Structure 1
Amino acid sequence: MGFHTFPTERAASLEDPGRYRYCSREELLAMLEPSADGVVADLGSGTGFYADDVAPFVDTLYAVDVQPAMHDYYREKGVPDAVEFVTAEVSSLPFDDGHLDGAYSTMTHHEYASPAADGADDGALAELARVIRPGGRLVTVDWSADGEGDDGPPVEERFSLADATAGLEAAGFEIERARERPETIAIVATR
């Protein structure tokens, strides 16, 4: 992962419906365009806040998190039938090439992506390009480096829209849409 992971002792705060002001259920579903037979991954799923929203619209949803304690919290809360737990770094996913129809991350891109340094490959983004099938979608909603920093991680740990899209393009994704918002960025990329 990148700079840090979310503190597990604050896991309950991830269930705050106020999170929808940064990415609503409807916005996420519209960007992801899931299908009933789809296989998707929630990258940095945490307590399953967004996984609960997407799971009814897909066949399989992999809740990917590097922290087993987050999976434990999610299990205690109750898990939809479509959800399967995966404890792994985004840079080392246990999926075959092209296994996923799509993936999404909500406020976690900064935790797994690496800042570009002299055009160096980003292992996590390259791994996503490997496991998402050609034509599959990757949706990224994260804190903006150009935001105020009142919420979320420190500004210096965030990506600008330009840096995030450049990293995705370098990994082989085509950017469909990319928007800068007051405190966040939203990107839809296709493999």
Structure 2
Amino acid sequence: MNERRFDPSKMAKLDNPDRRKALPPEKLLSELNIREDQTVLDLGAGTGYFTIPAAKLTQGTVYALDVEPQMLSVLKERVEQEGLQNVHYVNGVIEEIPLADEIADYVIASFVLHEVEPLSKGLQEIYRTLKPGGKCFCLEWEKKQMEQGPPLNHRIHSSDMEESMKQQGFKVISRSFPTDQHYLLIVEK
């Protein structure tokens, strides 16, 4: 296992009341204006923190990609409990997304790009899978010392992430700070 990858034994941390209060997924996703016929790719979908709300916003396909079959299994149970029919499960890594070119209107990369090695390869794959004019939603830990989140040396500063996105051809639409620990970049292909 890549030392940067999230340990699935800690999956309860992914969906807890404190996290939902600080980072409400429905509110954050409203930044994208997902329409009912659009396709979404959720990278590092985990237990469905963003997958499920996205699947409720569109009748289009929501691809939930995760490297951990255990996470996809939990996600599948949650999706079935919600009665959603539009989620497709993809086992794979961000550095080699096993999907066609220009398949998604939106890509969600929530707390996952700091795990990608090299980051440039992951961003190239996001760019490849986005349709022209498609947008990527990148939510990450700011690179500063705090109790929660990945080690400081794994984090990517918001300015560095923005620069990396630009180098891959993305246009930065917005950069915001939903909390003092996190940043949200919206970029467009």
Residue matched to 1:33: 33
Residue matched to 2:156: 159
1:150-189 correspondence runs (5 A)? 150-180=147-177, 181-189=179-187
Distance 1:160 1:2 in 2: 21
Amino acid at match of 1:28: L
1:19-168 correspondence runs (5 A)? 19-58=19-58, 59-79=60-80, 80-112=84-116, 114=118, 122-146=120-144, 148-168=145-165
Residue matched to 2:10: 10
Q: Which runs of 4+ in 1 moved over 4 A?
A: none
Distance 1:135 1:113 in 2: 26
- CA-atom RMSD in angstroms: 1.8
How far 1:106 sits from its partner (Å)?
1.7
Pick closer, same or farther for the CA change 1:157–1:68 going to 2, 3 Å: same
SS in 2 for 1:175: strand
How far 1:53 sits from its partner (Å)?
1.1
Distance 2:117 2:133 in 1: 21
How far 1:22 sits from its partner (Å)?
4.1
Task: Give % identity.
Answer: 26
Amino acid at match of 1:154: P
8 Å contact kept, 2:113–2:122: no
8 Å contact kept, 2:47–2:72: yes
How many residue pairs get aligned? The number is 184
SS in 1 for 2:47: coil
Q: 1:35-86: CA deviations, max 9, x gaps?
A: 1011111110001122111111121111110111111122233432111100
Distance 1:22 1:189 in 2: 22
How far 1:3 sits from its partner (Å)?
5.0
TM-score (normalizing by structure 2) = 0.89
Amino acid at match of 1:107: F
Pick closer, same or farther for the CA change 1:154–1:22 going to 2, 3 Å: farther
Distance 1:189 1:25 in 2: 18
How far 1:155 sits from its partner (Å)?
1.5
Pick closer, same or farther for the CA change 1:113–1:176 going to 2, 3 Å: farther
8 Å contact kept, 2:142–2:181: yes
Structure 1 gaps of 5+ residues are 116-121
How far 1:113 sits from its partner (Å)?
5.6
